[in-house]
Amino acid sequence: MAFGITSINGQKVRFGVGLRNDICSELSELGSEKALVLSTPQQVDMAMELATAIGDRASGLFTRATMHTPVDVTEEAVEHALSIQADSLVSIGGGSTIGLGKAIALRTGLPQIAIPTTYAGSEATPILGQTEGGVKKTLTDAKVLPRVILYDPELVATLPPAMTVTSALNAMAHAAEALYAKDRTDQTTELAVDGLKAFAEGFPNVVENPGDLKAREETQRGAWACGTVLGQVGMALHHKLCHTLGGSFNLPHAETHAIVLPHAIAYNAVGVPELLTPVSQILDGGEPGQALWDFAKKMGAPMALKDLGISEADLDRATEIALRNPYWNPRPITADGLRALLQNAWAGNAPGI
């Protein structure tokens, strides 16, 4: 599939070195005069640099974006946006910042420009996950979809190696689950395969040479494809588990996706092996879950949930929570099967079935 300037979601999507510096033309096209720039505390300098480039069109900064989009932080950000009479949102960062932009947009209707600095892919979806009372819930609403995405490979060239690896595997998870989605189409399958191929081909080059902007742009195109397909179809077991572990145990988002992915895919490959054949073909492996596990290990990804701070004693509770209101899944989910899956992921074992 060719990657153009406009995505199938009707967003304006652009790729290019230094593209963040063209932000003012995008704000002009939106008719924005008072942009609120969003970031995490860790990316304040990047947000300040962007606000300086925006100049008089920047009406304020909010730099408290937080992992898993807690509702209390969103409410504070909405109050700030209203107080400065912001007429647009510019999110520069990964899934935490873009998630905050979506949450503000849901409540205010403000248009968003997303400038991703990771491969999370959230910018390409109408999906928002929010955490309240220790539970993460997701919703789909066209109001949260950013109007514009600017993919600048220079912004991911400085991404720390560990974050590069986990963020990319997070994106690949969207594509892998899209292959067996209940509402998949030929178009979504093509997008998923394109996304997986882009990462399989570009990712090793990025790990070997982080400053390779050509490889970085290739992986950004993969992130766009994986994110876009996430917005087109429903997700299943993998995403349910990651939402449970993130929302209820506060585990880091991308690292959790990276660790759980091979195990969830191995579990579902038993039920729909033919639908996951592209994973094996793209990664030159055998069983899809094992191929993903081998690829993740080779790329230096974290391999065990126990290293993220969750205890073995928590796994029974995680199983119980994940079984509540389960997502549709291509293979029946049992308590024993889920508990065994989590045990392997916790210990860092190769995936079992």
Other C-beta atoms closer than 10 Å to the C-beta of 146 total 28
What pLDDT does residue 6 have?
55
Q: Mapping DSSP to helix (H, G, I), strand (E, B) and coil, where does residue 132 land?
A: strand
Q: Is 31 left (phi over 0), alpha (psi -120 to 50) or beta?
A: left
Residue % of the chain over a pLDDT of 90: 85
Per the model's pLDDT, the better-predicted residue between 261 and 6 turns out to be 261
pLDDT surpasses 80 at 5: no
Confidence of residue 2 (pLDDT cuts 50, 70, 90): very low
What pLDDT was estimated at residue 12? 94
What are the pLDDT digits (tens) for 245-296? 998 999 998 899 999 999 999 999 999 999 999 999 999 888 999 999 999 9
DSSP string, 59-113: EEEE----TT-BHHHHHHHHHHHHHTT--EEEEEESHHHHHHHHHHHHHH---EE
d(CA 301, CA 274): 27
Residues 219-238 pLDDT 10s: 999 999 999 999 899 989 99
Domains and CATH numbers, the chain: 12-157 (3.40.50.1970), 161-347 (1.20.1090.10)
One-letter-per-residue 3-state SS of 276-311: HHHHHHHCCCCCHHHHHHHHHHHCCCCCCHHHHCCC
In this prediction, residue 120 carries a pLDDT of 82
Say if residues 302 and 308 touch (Cβ distance below 8 Å): yes
Copy the structure tokens of residue 54: 């925006």
User: Who contacts 324 (Cβ-Cβ below 8 Å, separation ≥6)?
Assistant: none
The two three-digit tokens of residue 61, written as one number: 């900064």
Confidence of residue 160 (pLDDT cuts 50, 70, 90): confident
User: Is residue 9 over pLDDT 80?
Assistant: no
The per-residue pLDDT for 1 is 40
Task: Look at 81 and 137; give whichever has higher pLDDT.
Answer: 81
State which amino acid sits at residue 327.
Y
Q: Report whether 219 contacts 116 (CB < 8 A).
A: no
What is this structure's pTM? 0.88
Residue 353 reports pLDDT greater than 80: no
Region of poorest pLDDT, from 154-168, 175-189, 253-267, 317-331: 154-168
Mean pLDDT of all residues in 166-171: 92
Phi/psi for 191 (5° steps) reads -60, -45
